[in-house]
Every structure is written in C-alpha cells, then in structure tokens.
Amino acid sequence: MSTQLPESETETETESDEQAPSAPVQQQRRMERKRARAEEEEREAVEEETELDGETYTLKVFRYDPEVEGKKRPRFDEFVVPYHKGMTVLDALMYARDHYDSSLTFRHSCRQAICGSDAMFVNGRQRLCCKTQLSDLTDPVRVEPLPHQEVVKDLVVDMQHFYDQMDAVEPFFQTNDLPSGLEEQHQTRENREKVKMSTRCIWCGACMSSCNIAAGDNEYLGPAAINKAYRFAMDEREGEELKQHRLEILEQEHGVWRCQTQFSCTEVCPKDIPLTEHIQELKREAVKNNLKFW
C-alpha cells in the first residue's frame, strides 16, 4: 500500500504552513503591540500633565520645634506645590519637604490608607493625608497636627495616651473554650458580619482627636478603644464569661457612659466604621447585663 498523500492534500498543507507565522514571529508581534500600548499610555500621561501644567496648590503648614530656639513659637509656613492628577495631601507634603524644607516633619508609612500613621487636621477636619485628594479641597490647604494631642514637632503628635487607652480594653482575642488538637474554632457567618466593620480600625487616632468628651476627660476610653472592645465583646468565640469581663471594663465611669452621641467620631473615621452605633450597642449590652429578675 502506498503511503504517499494525494497531491491536492500535500499542496493544501504546504500553503497552510506557509501562512501560519512561526513562534518567534508571533512573539515579536506581541512585543510590538505591547510597546505600542506603552507608548500610547505614555503619550496620554504627557497630555494630562500638559493640561495641568502651571496649576499649583498652596499649603499652609503648622510648624513647631521645641528644640530649636527660633522655632519654639508655633507658626504657619506656606509652600506652593505644583499639582498633578491624583495628587494627595501626603504627596504635597512630601514635595514641600523634599524641595523646600527638609526639616518639615510628619509621619507617613505605607501610603495605602491602612497604616493610620498620617492622620492630620486638614482644612478643619481630621483626615488621612494619603487618602485625601488635593482636588477635593479648597485652596489654600491648611495642614495641622491632630487636635487635643501634645505636639512633638511640626505635624507629629504624641500618641502614647491613645495607645494606653487602646491597651486598657485588652485588645486581643481571649477564650476559655479552646478546641482540642487541630480542631478549628468556628465562627458563624452572621457573627463575622456583625464584628466585620469594627475590625477595620487602623489606630490612626482621628476619632479620638475629634471627640469633645475625650478632649475634656483624659481618662475617657474614647471611641477607638471602645470600638476595639466591641470587636471582641461581640465575638461569639470568646464566650459569655469573657464578654461580661469586657463589659465590666466598659461600664466604668470613664467608659461608654461618657459618650454623648455627637457622631463626630463616626464622621471623621477614614474606614467608615459606625463608631457611635457600636458605642450605643455596648450601652444596651451593659444595661441588659445588669438587669436582675428574681
């Protein structure tokens, strides 16, 4: 039997092979398309910068340095910063520091609105600078340290008291009912949803700074600490005994009952945690805990 293919089929396959590009050619074409896209994106970026060319924002920044004789008296310095699309207040502060005054001092870390280190008082409101767009603010932009906190230098405040209040509510998971061996300690979906918002706290201190009660009562636990206590008190895995222990911490004179429901903490929270709602719910739990029917 002959193994020779019919002449027509051989010609068809030969034509198909000639039309299909080889792997190196395909790779080259992909690279060319990728370079073309990159060039197009670069042209668009240049066009956007050209449109914004010459636009600036003026920063009025609080300055104070107790260690330098000429800077012990608080003042405001002005910095004119060139604006580009997407620029945040933190970007502007970094530009002012890098181009005008290297002694300008402020805290910042991740620049992703999750570390909480760059909370400041911007245009009369507590905000995260890395999350706040310059385009959303009126010019000039006034940047000050968080109110009701001791200023260390420029925009840096002493956060130790805030951390002490957070520690006072024992902000860590506890339980008397540990599973045996490798068994998991389950949490229902409903309970997880209940405490989910409270877990978003990034310890920025904005809520504490906005609270008029905390400003006048240095012993008040404050909204951040109470929210952290809520996160664990409402976690079903800790059990009723530990929940009662947490409620006893919150029922003290300078605990949840000092809150006057002004909603200032809720309004400034950069993570949209319903702080006032959590405080009121803990008040209800405290009342129920103390009701005795016998």
In angstroms, what CA-CA distances link 185 with 178, 234, 235, 237? 7, 15, 12, 7
H-run or E-run covering 63: strand 56-63
Do residues 165 and 275 share a domain? yes
Query: Using an 8 Å Cβ cutoff, are 27 and 35 in contact?
Result: no
Of the candidates 262, 79, 230, the residue with the CA atom closest to the CA atom of residue 154: 79
Is there a domain that residue 124 lies in?
Answer: yes
- Tokens (6 digits) for 249: 């911490």
Residue 262's CATH number? 1.10.1060.10
Is there a domain that residue 7 lies in?
Answer: no
pLDDT for 186: 86
Is there a domain that residue 9 lies in?
Answer: no
Is there a domain that residue 131 lies in?
Answer: yes
Do residues 171 and 252 share a domain? yes
- Tokens (6 digits) for 111: 């620049």
pLDDT for 294: 47
Number of domains in the chain: 2
Do residues 140 and 166 share a domain? no
Is there a domain that residue 6 lies in?
Answer: no
Do residues 147 and 212 share a domain? no
Do residues 192 and 139 share a domain? no
Question: Cis omega before residue 140 (within 30°)?
Answer: yes
Do residues 147 and 168 share a domain? no
Do residues 128 and 220 share a domain? no
- Burial label for 159, CB within 10 Å (0-12, 13-18, 19+), is buried
Do residues 145 and 247 share a domain? no
Query: Range of 139's domain?
Result: 56-157
Residue 93's CATH number? 3.10.20.30
Do residues 152 and 230 share a domain? no
Question: What are the pLDDT tens digits along the chain (294 aa)?
Answer: 444 544 544 444 444 445 556 777 888 888 888 888 888 887 776 565 544 557 999 999 999 999 988 888 999 999 999 999 999 999 999 999 999 999 999 999 998 999 999 999 999 999 999 999 999 999 999 999 999 999 999 999 999 999 999 999 999 988 877 777 778 888 899 999 999 999 999 999 999 999 999 999 999 999 999 999 999 999 999 888 889 999 999 999 999 999 999 999 999 999 999 999 999 999 999 888 777 654
How many CB atoms lie under 10 A from the CB of residue 69?
Answer: 8
Is there a domain that residue 21 lies in?
Answer: no
pLDDT for 40: 85
pLDDT for 4: 52
Do residues 263 and 239 share a domain? yes
Do residues 127 and 97 share a domain? yes
Do residues 153 and 210 share a domain? no
Is there a domain that residue 48 lies in?
Answer: no
The answer to whether the Cα torsion of 116, 121, 122, 123 is positive or negative is positive
Is there a domain that residue 13 lies in?
Answer: no
